[in-house]
């Protein structure tokens, strides 16, 4: 074992002497370092350009420096981020599904609302055409749906056209004040006849009407009071005459108000 070790050491010493001799010979004969010659031979054999290699090496070193220190928790962080991404993706899908269901429900409600509106519109229009001639003692009136040609998807409006006796069929905006009021009363009564309520409050509805129209208005109120109780606020004497009970406020003394009630019939179907 010792002999083999001695032989190996001797061989290493010989190689070192040979290498030193070669370095000195290269330096004396060619004025170059043996290490530089070996490097040039390696680059020549690999087909490398020294300047390009240096630039490439500098670029790679900059990228390595830009990466910073290696994070020992990078794997755990990547796993956590992946789980968070999967959770948010599932949440996003749930929101999109809910949005689709909500839009579908809105479309169903919108279709149902439009159908109900058109059904109710036709019923009100039919009743309106019946009530208007009774209050005006003739004439014709109807409701019309007005749609915007520029936006067919928009909600349509409602236009009232009326033709009192002896006049042309025009928009309600072109009627006189009394005619407008009586037309509005006709529409209110038409709606009320379709779906009556236990009570109905009319506040100064007869104020713009003349004596003849007030009489027809009172006839309708009395007829409809068979199924509903009407509370009418009025200053018209003819309307007070057809009421079953009167309630008023008087001031017998300055600054002191007093409520007065008068029962005119045994059955109170309407109050004014």
Q: Is residue 67, in this structure, part of any structural domain at all?
A: no
Say whether both 188 and 270 belong to one domain.
no
Residue among 187, 162, 185 at smallest CA distance from 172? 162
Say whether both 165 and 236 belong to one domain.
no
Q: Is residue 62, in this structure, part of any structural domain at all?
A: no
Give 170's strand partners. Answer: 162
| pLDDT attached to residue 265 | 67
Q: Is residue 165, in this structure, part of any structural domain at all?
A: yes
Residues 6 or more apart whose Cβ sits within 8 Å of residue 69: none
Q: Is residue 206, in this structure, part of any structural domain at all?
A: yes
Number of helices and strands in the chain (H, E): 7, 8
Say whether both 116 and 191 belong to one domain.
yes
Tens digit of pLDDT at every position of the chain (272 positions): 677 777 777 887 888 788 777 777 766 766 667 676 666 666 655 555 667 777 877 888 887 777 777 667 778 888 888 899 999 999 999 999 999 999 999 999 988 988 898 898 899 999 999 999 988 888 889 988 887 777 766 777 888 888 888 888 888 888 888 888 888 888 988 988 888 888 888 888 888 888 888 888 888 888 888 888 888 988 888 888 888 888 888 877 787 888 888 887 654 444 44
Say whether both 187 and 201 belong to one domain.
no
Contact 259, 249 (CB under 8 A): yes
- Residue that terminates a domain, selected from 195, 229, 252: 195
Give the span between the Cα atoms of 160 and 171, in whole angstroms.
6
Q: Is 236 helix (H, G, I), strand (E, B) or coil?
A: coil
CA dihedral 18, 19, 22, 26 (to 10 degrees): -170
Please state, in angstroms and as integers, the Cα–Cα distance from residue 58 to each residue in 51, 52, 64, 67, 161, following that order.
Answer: 11, 10, 10, 14, 88
| pLDDT attached to residue 152 | 67
Residue among 180, 271, 204 at smallest CA distance from 231? 271
Q: Is residue 85, in this structure, part of any structural domain at all?
A: no
Say whether both 119 and 159 belong to one domain.
yes
Domain of residue 220 covers 197-272
Say whether both 107 and 174 belong to one domain.
yes
Q: State the CATH number of the domain containing residue 134.
A: 3.40.50.300
Say whether both 232 and 186 belong to one domain.
no
- Residue that terminates a domain, selected from 172, 195, 218: 195
Say whether both 164 and 237 belong to one domain.
no
Say whether both 168 and 208 belong to one domain.
no
- Residue that terminates a domain, selected from 170, 195, 220: 195
**Three-state DSSP string of 183-210:** HHHHHHHHHHHHCCCCEEEEECCCCCCC
Q: Is residue 74, in this structure, part of any structural domain at all?
A: no
Q: Is residue 216, in this structure, part of any structural domain at all?
A: yes
Count of CB atoms within 10 A of residue 247's CB? 14
Residue positions counted in the chain? 272
According to DSSP, the β-strands at 245-253 and 140-146 are: unpaired
Give the span between the Cα atoms of 64 and 248, in whole angstroms.
97
Phi, psi of 140 (to 5 degrees): -150, 145
Domain count, the chain: 2
């Amino acid at each position: 074992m010792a002999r083999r070790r001695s032989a190996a050491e001797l061989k290493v010493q010989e190689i070192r002497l040979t290498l030193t001799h070669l370095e000195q010979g290269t330096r004396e004969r060619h004025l170059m370092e043996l290490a530089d010659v070996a490097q040039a031979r390696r680059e020549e054999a690999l087909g490398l350009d020294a300047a390009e290699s240096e630039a490439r090496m500098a670029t790679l070193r900059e990228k390595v420096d830009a990466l910073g220190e290696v994070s020992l928790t990078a794997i755990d962080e990547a796993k956590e981020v992946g789980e968070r991404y999967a959770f948010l993706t599932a949440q996003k899908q749930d929101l999109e599904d809910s949005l689709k269901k909500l839009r579908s429900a809105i479309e169903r409600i919108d279709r149902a609302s439009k159908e109900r509106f058109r059904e109710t519109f036709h019923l009100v229009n039919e009743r309106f055409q019946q009530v208007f001639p009774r209050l005006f003692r003739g004439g014709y009136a109807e409701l019309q749906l007005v749609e915007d040609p520029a936006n067919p998807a928009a909600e349509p409006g409602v236009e009232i056209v009326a033709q009192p006796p002896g006049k042309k069929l025009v928009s309600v905006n072109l009627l006189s004040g009394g005619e407008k009021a009586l037309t509005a009363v006709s529409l209110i009564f038409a709606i009320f006849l379709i779906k009556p309520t236990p009570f109905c409050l009319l506040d100064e509805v007869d104020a713009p009407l003349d004596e003849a129209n007030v009489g027809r208005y009172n006839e309708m109120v009395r007829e409809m009071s068979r199924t509903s109780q009407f509370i009418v606020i009025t200053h018209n004497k003819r309307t007070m005459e057809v009421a079953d009970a009167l309630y008023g406020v008087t001031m017998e003394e300055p600054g002191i108000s007093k409520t007065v009630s008068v029962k005119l019939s045994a059955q109170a179907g309407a109050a004014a």
